[in-house]
């Protein structure tokens, strides 16, 4: 066999095996943090990987011969099939989401916002062009960063304020970022905040102190301080105090739901939790399998110990245990393949809210893992932005 033939076989096998090794995490639970990154990102970038696997398949036919071609072709075919899974599931997922929101908010929920506001909202829950090239950058908004709103233990807390170009007051959304209560920053939600402002919402991204130096309920107290600041600065910040919603992600979802379900100077009119931690007791007792981030370690860091010694804190930090009648309308969004927060916990939260007569919509993304919307231009990112915008347009 010539050197050129050996090299061609080698590169064909290398390309095919790399794609196979990435795409398999679309279907298989990830046992480590490294594989979790692939498990989150690869399904969300399905349009790209469909294109890449097709090109790789054609390249394999040119490079390889004999058994190497057969093996590489098979690996590319499996990778292509995995890449297709999210796109095949997408139509039914969007149909189910529209049906859930229609049943929850009414058949005209998508028309609740004025025409001028809808013009600034994402037009569809998924766009192929957006998946490849991104959405147009938000225009005509005002951004003020690092506005101080509270000080404690010598640390100044600040928020970022995003507003429509025209003067308010406007319906207002408070955003709370995630990060296992240990890391994360306001800039994580900068793109979403800017797009919500372009859609006509005053949007406030609040901060909070982190574990392990600060334990629960410090983080919740900081979020509540941000909400109280809206009452103080409502006129200056173009806030409509009668139309305030809150939306959090992961650990921020836990904080957002807890803040929404407790009395505040400003009534929270609607709440959203995206892959939110809703039951920390069961989260500790039933961690995911496999458990790539060690959920119990995260919870004990946040709550200063296991449930055996800190049960009151675990209960107080669980939105599920804060459920009662007459809570604001709630939107829950999660990935069916979430390996940090089991999707079953979202189902239990949904059922508890309904048992108490509350309005709740629960949307599920079957191909998605935790933090799926953080991937730029992803299927899940488009999904979250679209339905979050319309939920708050219908409820604020």
Tell me the residue range of the domain where 30 lies. Answer: 3-89
Q: Which pLDDT value is given to residue 1?
A: 58
Give CA–CA dist 115/199, Å, rounded: 11
Residue 101 within any structural domain of the chain? no
Residues 206 and 348 in one domain: yes
Give CA–CA dist 345/279, Å, rounded: 7
Q: Which pLDDT value is given to residue 75?
A: 93
3-state helix, strand, coil in the chain (%, to 5): 55, 15, 30
Q: Which pLDDT value is given to residue 66?
A: 87
Residues 65 and 164 in one domain: no
> Where among 29, 54, 89 does a domain terminate?
89
Nearest to 254 by CA among 228, 230, 287, 281: 281
Residue 103 within any structural domain of the chain? no
Residue 97 within any structural domain of the chain? no
Residues 361 and 275 in one domain: yes
Residues 112 and 85 in one domain: no
Residues 141 and 287 in one domain: yes
Residue 223 within any structural domain of the chain? yes
Which residues 6+ apart lie within 8 Å of 163 measured at CB?
141, 142, 143, 144, 170, 197, 202, 203, 237, 238
Residue 296 within any structural domain of the chain? yes
- Residue identified by tokens 């079957």 is 366
Residues 76 and 196 in one domain: no
Residues 69 and 112 in one domain: no
Helices then strands, counting H and E runs in the chain, come out as 14, 8
Residues 353 and 204 in one domain: yes
225 CB-side CA count, 13 A: 20
Instruction: Please state at what angle helix 3-23 crosses helix 66-105, rounded to 10 degrees.
Output: 20
Cα→Cα distances 254→92, 179, 180, 219, 281, Å:
28, 11, 10, 10, 13
Which residues 6+ apart lie within 8 Å of 123 measured at CB?
none
> Where among 39, 54, 89 does a domain terminate?
89
Residue 121 within any structural domain of the chain? yes
Helix (H, G, I), strand (E, B) or coil at 381: helix
CATH of the domain at 204: 3.40.50.1820
The gap between the terminal CA atoms of the chain, to the nearest Å, is 71
pLDDT along the chain (396 residues), means of 10: 79 92 94 95 97 93 88 94 97 97 91 79 93 90 95 86 92 97 97 96 97 96 95 95 97 98 88 98 95 97 97 98 97 97 97 98 98 94 96 95
Residues 236 and 339 in one domain: yes
Q: Which pLDDT value is given to residue 23?
A: 96
Residue 350 within any structural domain of the chain? yes
Residues 77 and 143 in one domain: no
- Residue identified by tokens 């905040």 is 193
Token pair recorded at residue 21? 């090794």
Q: How many structural domains comprise the chain? A: 2
> Where among 59, 89, 119 does a domain terminate?
89
Segment holding 258, helix H or strand E: helix 251-260
Q: Which pLDDT value is given to residue 150?
A: 87
**CA-atom Rg of the chain in angstroms:** 23
Q: DSSP letter string over 320-371? A: GGG--SSPPPEEEEEETT-SSS-HHHHHHHHHHHHHTT--EEEEEETT--TT
Residues 335 and 366 in one domain: yes
Residues 253 and 326 in one domain: yes
Residue 194 within any structural domain of the chain? yes
Give CA–CA dist 196/173, Å, rounded: 8
Cross-strand pairs, 150: 157
């Amino acid at each position: 066999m010539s050197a050129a033939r050996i090299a061609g076989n080698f590169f064909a096998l290398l390309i095919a095996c790399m794609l196979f090794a990435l795409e398999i995490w679309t279907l298989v639970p990830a046992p480590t943090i490294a594989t979790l990154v692939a498990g989150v990102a690869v399904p969300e970038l399905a349009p790209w990987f469909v294109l890449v696997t097709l090109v790789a398949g054609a390249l394999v036919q040119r490079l390889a011969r004999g058994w190497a071609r057969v093996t590489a072709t098979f690996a590319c075919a499996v990778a292509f099939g995995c890449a297709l899974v999210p796109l095949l599931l997408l139509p039914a997922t969007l149909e189910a989401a529209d049906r859930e929101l229609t049943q929850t908010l009414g058949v005209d929920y998508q028309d609740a916002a004025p025409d001028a506001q809808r013009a600034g909202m994402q037009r569809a829950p998924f766009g192929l062009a957006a998946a490849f090239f991104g959405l147009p950058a938000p225009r005509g908004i005002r951004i003020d960063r690092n506005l101080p709103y509270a000080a404690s233990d010598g640390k100044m807390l600040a928020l970022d304020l995003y507003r429509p170009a025209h003067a308010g007051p406007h319906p207002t959304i408070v955003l709370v970022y995630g990060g296992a209560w240990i890391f994360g920053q306001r800039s994580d939600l900068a793109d979403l905040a800017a797009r919500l402002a372009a859609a006509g919402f005053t949007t406030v991204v609040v901060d909070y102190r982190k574990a392990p130096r600060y334990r629960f309920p410090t983080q919740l107290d900081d979020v509540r301080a941000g909400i109280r600041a809206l009452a103080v600065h409502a006129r200056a910040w173009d806030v409509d105090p009668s139309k305030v919603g809150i939306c959090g992600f992961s650990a921020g979802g836990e904080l957002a739901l807890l803040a929404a379900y407790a009395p505040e100077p400003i009534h929270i009119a609607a709440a959203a939790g995206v892959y939110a931690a809703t039951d920390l007791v069961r989260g500790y007792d039933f961690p995911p399998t496999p458990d790539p981030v060690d959920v119990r370690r995260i919870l004990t860091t946040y709550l200063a110990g296991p449930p055996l010694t800190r049960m009151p804190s675990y209960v107080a930090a669980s939105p599920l245990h804060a459920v009662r009648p007459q809570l604001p309308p709630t939107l829950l969004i999660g990935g069916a393949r979430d390996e940090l927060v089991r999707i079953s916990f979202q189902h239990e939260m949904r059922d508890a809210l309904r048992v108490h007569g509350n309005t709740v919509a629960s949307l599920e993304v079957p191909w998605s893992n935790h933090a799926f919307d953080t991937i730029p231009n992803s299927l899940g990112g488009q999904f979250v932005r679209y339905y979050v915008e319309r939920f708050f347009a219908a409820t604020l």
